Every structure is written in C-alpha cells, then in structure tokens.
Structure 1
C-alpha cells in the first residue's frame, strides 16, 4: 500500500520520463499511480551537510508548490473540464513523491488526418477548447504533443474528440521551472523553450508563456490535417531549430490559404505574434478551415517564420539526447496493462524526439 493505494501491476518506467508508473486501486476504483524519481525529500538524519539539506528542501518545496498550484487551478470537477484528464491526488510517502489520476481507456485513433474534414474540425475544436481552459487561468500545458492527446470516439457519438492528458510539466505562464528542470519534447517545443533549455541567457523565464503551447498547437494542426508536420530544411533537428535560424516552416499547399496562414502565425518566431487560443477557435469557424484540397492553394502573402529575428544558438546545450525507439508498429494501447518492467530511468526530462517529420505522426506512449 502506498498512500492508501494498492498497487496492482508491476511498476515500469516505459514512456515515463523521470518517473515510474503502475496501476492501483482504492475504494473499489482504478487509478494510474505515478512515482517521481526526483526530487527526493531528505530524511531526518540523512547524510549530507546542513547546507545541502536546505537546498534539497527548497527544491522539494518548489516542486510541491508547482504541482499543488496547478491542481488547485485545474480541478476535475471544473466546468468544461470533461476532456481534461487531471490529477486527483498528490502526496509524498517517505522521501518519494506520487501523483494519481483516474485510470482511463487509452485506446484511440493514431491517424486523425484520415478523418473527414468535419470530423477534423470538431477534433481540433475540442483540443483547442481544452487548451483555452488552461490559458484562461494562465496555465501552460508545457508538453503539448500527439502523445498527450487521446483521440477517441464514445460509443454512439457522431464525432471523435480529444482528451488532453499529462499535466506534470505544466506551469504558470511566465514562471516555468528552472532551465535544468523544465521538461518538454524537442520536436514540438517552441523556439523560445528550445533556447531556454539550451542555456541562452537572452531568453528569460518570463518569456515562456502560453504562446509555447500555441506553437505546438500549430504543428499539431498541420499533423492532424495532413498526416505530417510542416516541412523545413533537413539540416535542422526540429521545427523550433529551423525557426530560430530564420528559416520558414512550409505548410502543405493543399491546405487553404487561410489555414496555411493560421499555422504560419502559430509557429512564428516571436511568441507575441502568435494567435491566442481564442483566435485559433475563431479561425476554425471557417467551413473550409480543415479541408485538404486536391490541388495546390495560393500561398499566404507573408511568411510567419520571419515575424521574429533569427536567434543565435547557445554555445553549449544542457539537453542530453535520449532518442526513443521508433522501430516497429505502435503498441496496443487497449491492452490496459503496463509493459514489462526493466527499462532504466532516463536521465533527461527533455525528450529529444527524433521521429520522422514527414512520414506521419510519431508513436504514442502506451500509458495514459
């Protein structure tokens, strides 16, 4: 038993970043139990100097404050939160922190671009509406990507909807974790986030706002409509790297001109030039916004990637490359059991996503 929860599966680190996870039960209900590998609360009488203990306690206090403040702002019973999979409990047992969410069905659609245009519109609207709930209270999701969006269709429902999951890396707009602690995914990370984790002192914590999520939403919109991310020169490892170098991201020309412009604006170099999520929802009112035409459509008059100046890359990156295994078919997420344990914990919270940029969406993790 851990904090009143009975663990019913073998804990594993599979797709878990800096945590272990397992399924658990309490009072007849099923839960997803996540055990954080760090930070660790110092025990009474533990080795180390008084100064070291104070530093560790301060790190733990900041960790607790961030998670609890997000939980207070994002409550499962909040109006409109039906498509947010939120934490129900956060506690520590001994020196270790745990977070709990309800266990949900993680089976879903991996290829949203195969849906009809109207279905894609509803899907993007539900995703953006969920994101608006966060942004309206100045919360940044912090790790928006396909793996953290479950595309599902309830029995008897006419449309697929999007459930937004994994708020462990969320933070208040303008108040992200420290450079060495912040998490994210390099493929969907915004240009300012990329420079922040690389140690670029020209990017301050105040520069990481809800616009970080809008960059990822722009990329995901292109992915959901076409099956690929916007194109960029192969010499860049990610869309953000290309944008930071002043290179434009090129939208599929089969998208309508207005949609190309929307994606271009969302992926602009300057965070202040990106649309808000409310602007994004307004743009989706266009009946043709999610149409993929058979013939090339006119290009927008301007290139959004040039809205901001090129930024020099930091001389030394603090990001440790940890490429995931992307060989073989996607896992069966409907099995409702964790993979076999044995994978060692990763050493970096920043996920270096080296999946193909033009061959379709990256694999989804097998956990909720």
Structure 2
C-alpha cells in the first residue's frame, strides 16, 4: 500500500504507517467523497498460483488464509451495525484481497485530545457507559474483543456536544466465546490481558480455549476504568511483569486509595482470578454508574464526604450465548480459496 494508490476503489490519501498497528500498516483513504481508515495485513499472505514455494507449503498457506477469512466472517456475522447498542462499534465496512494482501476498511473517526481523568464524573460516566454498551453487545452475541486496551478505544467528541464517547475499534483479533485462535497466534496486550489469557499463552495445562470468554474483556475493562478515573493503571506486585501475572500468582492489584473502598470492591470483583467469578459487563457498568452518579462534579478520584459507608452489590450473571446475526458479507470470490476439505 502506498500514498495515491487505489485499492478496490479506495484512494490512499495519507502515507501508510505501522504505528500501533502490530502486523499491519494503515492509512486514511477516500471513496465517493467519504473518508475511511484502511488497513493492510502483512500476515497472512494469500499465495497465488505462481508464488514461490512447494505444493505442501502453498497448501499450508491456503489453509491459514482460509482460517483467517472464516474468523473475520464469523465476527462480522455476529455483529449488526443497526443494533441500538452498535452506534459506538467501529465495524468493518469492507474486507477484500488485492494480490496477496488482505485489506480492511472502516469509518474514519476523529479522536479527541482529552484526558479522561481530568473530566468531571458526569462526563466520565458517559465514557464508561458507552464503552460498556459496546462490550455488552459483543458478549451478547458471543464475541470476545480479546485486545481491549487504550489504543483500541477512540475517545470521540460528537460535533456540537460537550460530552465524549468511547468508540471501540479493531476487531481483528476478536473471536467467538471459548474459541480463540491457537496459543501461538492469539493476540492480546500483556498490560491489559487477563490471567486466563496469560496462562493460555504460556501453555499452562490448566488453561484451555474454553476458558477465554467475555471475562477476558471484563478484566481489561476494569484496568481501563481505573486509568480513566485516575490517569494510570493500577499498581501490582513488582515481582510480576504484568497485572495478569500478579493475579495469576495470587496477588491482588493495588487500586488508587483516593477512589475509596466501594471502588476497590467493584474493581476487585472485575479482576478476580477466577473468570467465572467476575461480573458481566452490564452488571459492572451499572455499579460503576451508581458510584459515579453519587460523585457529582467533584474532581476525579476524590471520595464522597463520609455519610456512612454503603456497600457495593454486584449481581453475577451467566455467560453470553452465541447468536450470530450479521449484515456484512465478506466477498473474496474473485479468487476463491480451496474448500475446507481440500486443506
């Protein structure tokens, strides 16, 4: 991909970069007067008949590409852009192959230069609530985001509004509940990954694919909430390289003392070392909303005046069911891959 290139009708209008993109490069593009975000995947590469490599190597690469396409399609099928909660999901607009490379196109979102911990409680509540609604929609449809971190949440200020909302992006590494990619390729961020994700990546025998559910996102959501409220993620035992590693070793995370005991209680629940003991996103967001609601417009991180401590109550719910119901159809039929049976 290069500036000025036209890919499937999209004109690349900025110089491509791989900043915060992992195994991709990205740029902004234009088509029919609209602006888009376009991403080129560096891996996997789709082999052509004249590509180098043995027959066995090409067959292996075809199979890898087929799995990649199917995972993209399963996520697209599970998420509907016309759902009432989908307004803040930045979903795929187009997914295609050009030569040996895959491309994904989404809406271009203007990110606001804002520090959430400097906002008042009402505006913080809007951020948390909009992010929770997006995660809740994913989980209701049996999808785990799998790579929830600050870089994958764009803070957007709609035109004419004084509020900021959270736009959830980058579903490249999303997967159906309990069915993540193999340990060697599953994505995630060590600073926001959940203990069960870390154990799975480490190939620890007690952690299986089935353990990676929406609770993975709930763990990361707790760390994001703490960052939004205080300006920094929670501290953890320095003997461990990450929050997940600390919790996996039986250590608790250290929340900002200014948040107060009720906040500590809900955040402890969301980062419990046992995934099934964590509340679902909706229950956690409801409790967080109640805490922010009684904060008024005080500076962030300041506890309420003492009036007798009220306990936080979190009702745990069951896991989300998978109910695929998508609208986007990924069409790569111009150069079809071999069927599953031909791998």
TM-score using structure 2 length:
0.82
Partners of 2:294 and 2:39 lie apart in 1 by 37
Bigger Cα displacement from structure 2, 58-67 vs 144-153: 144-153
Q: How does 1:1-368 map to 2 (within 5 A)?
A: 1-109=6-114, 111-288=115-292, 291=295, 292-293=301-302
Partners of 1:45 and 1:231 lie apart in 2 by 53
Q: Which whole-Å deviations, capped at 9, do the CAs of 1:76-135 have from their partners, x for residues lacking one? A: 3333211111110111112111100112212331x2111112221222111111111111
Does the CA-based 8 Å contact 2:259-2:303 persist in structure 1?
no
Does the CA-based 8 Å contact 1:5-1:25 persist in structure 2?
yes
Partners of 2:230 and 2:251 lie apart in 1 by 21
Q: What residue number does 1:344 align with?
A: none
Partners of 1:57 and 1:94 lie apart in 2 by 14
Partners of 1:105 and 1:219 lie apart in 2 by 24
Greater percentage in helix: 2
Q: Which whole-Å deviations, capped at 9, do the CAs of 1:49-73 have from their partners, x for residues lacking one? A: 3222221111111100111221222
CA drift of 1:141 comes to 0.9
Partners of 1:295 and 1:23 lie apart in 2 by 45
Q: Which whole-Å deviations, capped at 9, do the CAs of 1:150-183 have from their partners, x for residues lacking one? A: 2233233242221111111111111111112111
Q: Which whole-Å deviations, capped at 9, do the CAs of 1:266-303 have from their partners, x for residues lacking one? A: 111111111101211221342556743358999999xx
Does the CA-based 8 Å contact 1:260-1:299 persist in structure 2?
no
Secondary structure of 1:221's match? helix
Partners of 1:289 and 1:77 lie apart in 2 by 29
Does the CA-based 8 Å contact 2:110-2:156 persist in structure 1?
no
Q: Which whole-Å deviations, capped at 9, do the CAs of 1:185-213 have from their partners, x for residues lacking one? A: 11001011112222223211111111000
* Change in 2 beyond 3 A, CA 1:289/1:254: farther
Does the CA-based 8 Å contact 1:68-1:90 persist in structure 2?
no
Partners of 2:255 and 2:46 lie apart in 1 by 47
CA drift of 1:41 comes to 1.2
* Unmatched runs of 5 consecutive residues or more in structure 2: 1-5, 296-300, 312-343
* Unmatched runs of 5 consecutive residues or more in structure 1: 302-368
Does the CA-based 8 Å contact 2:260-2:303 persist in structure 1?
no
CA drift of 1:256 comes to 3.4
Does the CA-based 8 Å contact 1:88-1:101 persist in structure 2?
yes
Partners of 1:288 and 1:24 lie apart in 2 by 39
Partners of 1:181 and 1:44 lie apart in 2 by 26
Partners of 1:56 and 1:154 lie apart in 2 by 43
TM-score using structure 1 length:
0.76
Secondary structure of 1:120's match? helix
